[in-house]
Amino acid sequence: MKHSCRMLFMSLREGTMFLSVIVFSSLSVSKALGQTEPVVDSSYIAAVYEHNVILNPDPRISLSRPAALQHMQRNLDIYEQQAARAAQQGVQILVFPEDGIQGFNFSRSSIFNYLETIPDPQQESWNPCTEPGKYNNTEVLQRLSCMARRYNLYLVANMADLQPCPLKTDPSSSCPSDGRWQFNTNVVFSSDGLLVGRYHKNNLYFEAAFDTPPQPEIITFDTPFAGRFGLIICFDILFYEPTIHLVTKGVRQLIFPTAWMNQLPLLDAIQFQHALSLGANVTLLAANIRNDKMIMTGSGIYTPFSVKSHHAQKGDPVEGRLLVARVPVLDPLLAGQSVTDGSTAKDSGFCHKESRLDFPAPETSSSVPPSSSASSTSTFISSMMYDPFTFVLLEETEGKVNVCNGTFCCHLQYRLIPQGDSKELYALGAFGGTHTVNGRYAVQVCALVRCAGLDTSSCGQEIEEAESKMDFQLEGRFGSRYVYPSVLASKFVLEQPKHFETAPDGTVTMKHSNMTGGLVTACLYGRMYHLDNE
Ligand SMILES: *[C@@H]1O[C@H](CO)[C@@H](O)[C@H](O)[C@H]1NC(C)=O
Ligand SMILES: *[C@@H]1O[C@H](CO)[C@@H](O)[C@H](O)[C@H]1NC(C)=O
Ligand SMILES: *[C@@H]1O[C@H](CO)[C@@H](O)[C@H](O)[C@H]1NC(C)=O
Ligand SMILES: *[C@@H]1O[C@H](CO)[C@@H](O)[C@H](O)[C@H]1NC(C)=O
Ligand SMILES: *[C@@H]1O[C@H](CO)[C@@H](O)[C@H](O)[C@H]1NC(C)=O
């Protein structure tokens, strides 16, 4: 199986986009997302590096420690060059991707000599660059620490951690059968090289080499220039622990090393990164791996007001990419807002506190049966992302359609703006239920997609290009306050939805118009975290 995340797709080219200040002040997205420009006069310069990782050709065969180190140093050499480039641009925090130092597809034993024992920065203070003799077998930690120090920036990297069992921090937890813990781990170094953060991935994605920590870890670190950041890794982004837990604690800046396999139509890397940033009203610093065979590309620096992203296109040279952007400080303490126990949201409810038991389920009477829709005729089921979506075709050039999956209904008002003579088929799909393939999680999704072909059975399949533009309003009444909006245009270009709003009864509305490219997917991706374990 695939490893860390999954998500399939392909094609590549650059989709760098700058929405930012100009856009947000003129668009109504600001109404729901960021009423006003952030109440900060402070900003900082962040960078993420999409890394074309040098892989071990046979990760299932164990290497000696010197050979493993030699391999890792080749990736670290590239990190070093990028840290130097970042420093020249005034970068204050630099993020490298998941698995970027050792690669992937190891077994539990074949990764052994890649592991280093990473001390807990909450228990002790250690600067590996200035105190290299304190622990053996910490060459990678030392090199990263010296990089942060030399280039005078906060540095976040992902590496493999070995911890003795039982864990000092959790003495009663059970041990893996071979008596040691192996974790997929983010490490953070301050600009003088001090180890200031260590986070063990909670939601593994087919990673035989690693263990899930006995308890989910909620890890943050503080910086002098932007306040607090929270740490997550790849598949974590889809789950309550630790991602939403961090958000409910008031953490508004998340760091996201990932090795994400793209999967259209709903979970392309930049599509979901952007959606999370908008839906949770947070900054997300996302660094992905670049690897064509594994369908990995798509990194970015996202705030609720701006996007700088990169998504390679088919045929692009396979190479790394450094993205640098100045972004506003969102930490409520530094931004001078009051922190009411984690809640930074006003009315949309996204960052509202606590209760995972979101809105009451919509009453059946409120749902509109598909047959009553203005222009649609019949519904059909087609599989999208392995889930049986109920779809209805968009048969007119404009109109209204509704589609329900049980009591969960999606409503669309649209005006198609065909371009050229190409005939393209679009459908509105609804799905409410538990996704069970390659991970288990409960969702409610409204998705307007371009079908891959002209047959209904192609609706929900992957297609990366489109010519038709559309003005639309997409709406659903969700049983969760956690709904992530996205508009993906042809060839992986992100668009900022012009309006996005959640009403107190759970009705979420996204409006968009004046697209710059053809519409591939418009989606409201609701996560029903409270139903994940049912
Ligand atoms: C990892 O393993 C999977 C299946 O075992 C294989 O399909 C994939 O190509 C491997 N990836 C690499 C980079 O070796
Ligand atoms: C490091 O390893 C050497 C050689 O095995 C040993 O003598 C030394 O005590 C170790 N140092 C630490 C800090 O563990
Ligand atoms: C998002 O955060 C900004 C402050 O950074 C705040 O002004 C705005 O109201 C928040 N939006 C929502 C929908 O919570
Ligand atoms: C969606 O449809 C499936 C299959 O018809 C059904 O099992 C499921 O309960 C429906 N979801 C909702 C929210 O009603
Ligand atoms: C869309 O474009 C038209 C024509 O260029 C313009 O008049 C209109 O104001 C735009 N609408 C929005 C919502 O930006």
Instruction: Tell which one of 382, 405, 531 to mutate to probe ligand 4, the residue whose CB is within 8 A of the most ligand atoms.
Output: 405
Q: What is the pLDDT of residue 363?
A: 43
The last residue of one of the domains, among 303, 337, 371, is 337
In this structure, the residue with its CA closest to atom 1 of ligand 3 is: 34
Pairing of strands 306-310, 299-303: antiparallel
Average pLDDT, the chain: 88
Q: What is the pLDDT of residue 197?
A: 98
The last residue of one of the domains, among 309, 337, 365, is 337
Q: How many domains does the chain have?
A: 2
Q: Are residues 391 and 474 in the same domain?
A: yes
Cis previous bond, 214, omega within 30: no
| Rounded average pLDDT over 3-20 | 32
Q: Using CA atoms, how far apart are residues 526 and 504, in angstroms rounded to an integer? A: 15
Q: What is the pLDDT of residues 347-379, one digit of tens each?
A: 232 222 233 334 454 444 444 444 444 444 699
Task: Among the bound ligands, name the one nearest to the CA of residue 37.
Answer: 3
In a domain, 9, yes or no: no
Q: How far is the CA of 249 from the centre of ligand 3 (A)?
A: 15
Q: What is the pLDDT of residues 106-137, one digit of tens each?
A: 999 999 999 999 999 999 999 999 999 999 99
Q: What is the pLDDT of residue 168?
A: 81
- How is the beta sheet containing 43-50 ordered, strand by strand? 195-200, 180-189, 154-164, 93-95, 43-50, 321-328
Q: Are residues 304 and 212 in the same domain?
A: yes
For residue 131, report the phi and psi dihedrals to the nearest 5 degrees: -125, 60
In a domain, 11, yes or no: no
Three-state DSSP at 50 gives: strand
Would residue 98 show up in a list of annotated catalytic residues for this protein?
yes
Q: What is the pLDDT of residues 501-523, one digit of tens each?
A: 999 999 999 999 999 999 999 99
Which residue range is the domain that position 409 belongs to?
A: 380-531
Higher-pLDDT residue of 172, 446: 446
Q: Are residues 143 and 205 in the same domain?
A: yes
Of 98, 424, 495, 501, the catalytic one is 98
Q: Using CA atoms, how far apart are residues 319 and 297, in angstroms rounded to an integer? A: 10
Query: Is 151 a residue whose pLDDT tops 70?
Result: yes
Q: What is the pLDDT of residues 59-91, one digit of tens each?
A: 999 999 999 999 999 999 999 999 999 999 999
pLDDT-based confidence at residue 41 (cuts at 50, 70, 90): low
Q: How far is the CA of 50 from the centre of ligand 3 (A)?
A: 29
Residues 6+ apart with CB under 8 A from 320: 49, 50, 51, 52, 78, 82, 290
Residue 335's nearest CA partner among 251, 234, 448, 452 is 251
| Rounded average pLDDT over 464-488 | 97
Q: Are residues 267 and 414 in the same domain?
A: no
Q: Are residues 403 and 281 in the same domain?
A: no
In a domain, 324, yes or no: yes
Q: What is the pLDDT of residue 16?
A: 31
Q: Decide: 522 and 511 in contact? Cβ < 8 Å.
A: no
Q: Are residues 189 and 257 in the same domain?
A: yes
Q: Using CA atoms, how far apart are residues 263 and 260, in angstroms rounded to an integer? A: 9
Q: How far is the CA of 96 from the centre of ligand 1 (A)?
A: 22
Three-state DSSP at 458 gives: helix
Q: What is the pLDDT of residue 24?
A: 31
Q: What is the pLDDT of residue 419?
A: 87
Q: What is the pLDDT of residue 421?
A: 82
Of 201, 249, 469, 491, the catalytic one is 201
Q: Are residues 278 and 405 in the same domain?
A: no
Name, of 29-38, 181-190, 353-362, the range with top average pLDDT: 181-190
Q: What is the pLDDT of residues 284-342, one digit of tens each?
A: 999 999 999 999 999 999 999 999 999 999 999 999 999 999 999 999 888 765 444 43
For the chain, the straight-line distance linking the first and the last C-alpha, in angstroms and rounded, comes to 25
- The residue whose two tokens read 């953490």 is 251
Query: Is 246 a residue whose pLDDT tops 80?
Result: yes
Query: Is 199 a residue whose pLDDT tops 60?
Result: yes
Q: What is the pLDDT of residue 349?
A: 27
Amino acid at 355: S
Q: Using CA atoms, how far apart are residues 447 and 486, in angstroms rounded to an integer? A: 9
Q: Using CA atoms, how far apart are residues 485 and 495, in angstroms rounded to an integer? A: 11
Alpha helices in 13-99 (DSSP H): 20-26, 29-33, 65-88
In a domain, 33, yes or no: no
Tell how many helices (H) and how many strands (E) occur in the chain: 6, 24
Higher-pLDDT residue of 419, 248: 248
pLDDT-based confidence at residue 166 (cuts at 50, 70, 90): confident
Q: Are residues 156 and 277 in the same domain?
A: yes
In a domain, 12, yes or no: no
Query: Is 447 a residue whose pLDDT tops 90?
Result: yes
Task: Among the bound ligands, name the one nearest to the CA of residue 105.
Answer: 1
Of 5, 146, 234, 351, the catalytic one is 234
Give ligand 5 pocket residues (Cβ under 6 A): 498, 513-514
Amino acid at 171: P
In a domain, 6, yes or no: no
In this structure, the residue with its CA closest to atom 9 of ligand 4 is: 406
Q: What is the pLDDT of residue 28?
A: 34
Give ligand 4 pocket residues (Cβ under 6 A): 388, 405-408, 432-433
Higher-pLDDT residue of 5, 424: 424
Instruction: Tell which one of 31, 33, 343 to mutate to probe ligand 3, the residue whose CB is within 8 A of the most ligand atoms.
Output: 33
Query: Is 26 a residue whose pLDDT tops 90?
Result: no
Task: Among the bound ligands, name the one nearest to the CA of residue 291.
Answer: 1
- The residue whose two tokens read 């220039």 is 225
38 lines ligand 3 (CB under 6 A): yes
In a domain, 330, yes or no: yes
Q: Are residues 308 and 395 in the same domain?
A: no
Q: Decide: 398 and 441 in contact? Cβ < 8 Å.
A: no
Pairing of strands 220-223, 195-200: unpaired
In this structure, the residue with its CA closest to atom 6 of ligand 2 is: 136
- CATH classification of the domain holding 169: 3.60.110.10
In a domain, 156, yes or no: yes
H/E stretch holding 147 = helix 139-150
Would residue 523 show up in a list of annotated catalytic residues for this protein?
no
The last residue of one of the domains, among 322, 337, 352, is 337
Q: What is the pLDDT of residue 200?
A: 98
Q: What is the pLDDT of residue 377?
A: 64
Q: Are residues 301 and 395 in the same domain?
A: no
Task: Among the bound ligands, name the one nearest to the CA of residue 126.
Answer: 2
pLDDT more than 70, % of the chain: 84
Q: What is the pLDDT of residue 351?
A: 26
Q: Are residues 205 and 291 in the same domain?
A: yes
Query: Is 496 a residue whose pLDDT tops 70?
Result: yes
Q: Using CA atoms, how far apart are residues 157 and 128, in angstroms rounded to an integer? A: 14
DSSP states of 223-284: ETTTEEEEE--GGGGGSIIIIIHHHHTT--EEEEE--PBPBTTTB-HHHHHHHHHHHHT-EE
Q: Within 10 Å of residue 458's Cβ, how many Cβ atoms?
A: 17
The model's pTM is 0.88
Q: How far is the CA of 297 from the centre of ligand 1 (A)?
A: 16
Q: What is the 3-state secondary structure (H, E, C) of 470-508?
A: EEEEEEEECCCCCEEEEEEECCCEEECCCEEEECCCCEE
Q: What is the pLDDT of residue 131?
A: 98
Q: Which atom of ligand 4 is nearest to the CA of 406?
A: 14
Q: Are residues 232 and 330 in the same domain?
A: yes
DSSP states of 162-223: EEESSBTTBTTSPPPTTSEEEEEEEEEE-TTS-EEEEEE-SS-SS-TT----SS----EEEE
Q: What is the pLDDT of residue 420?
A: 82
Q: Residue 347, Cα to own-chain centre: how many angstroms? A: 24
Residues 6+ apart with CB under 8 A from 43: 326, 327, 328, 329
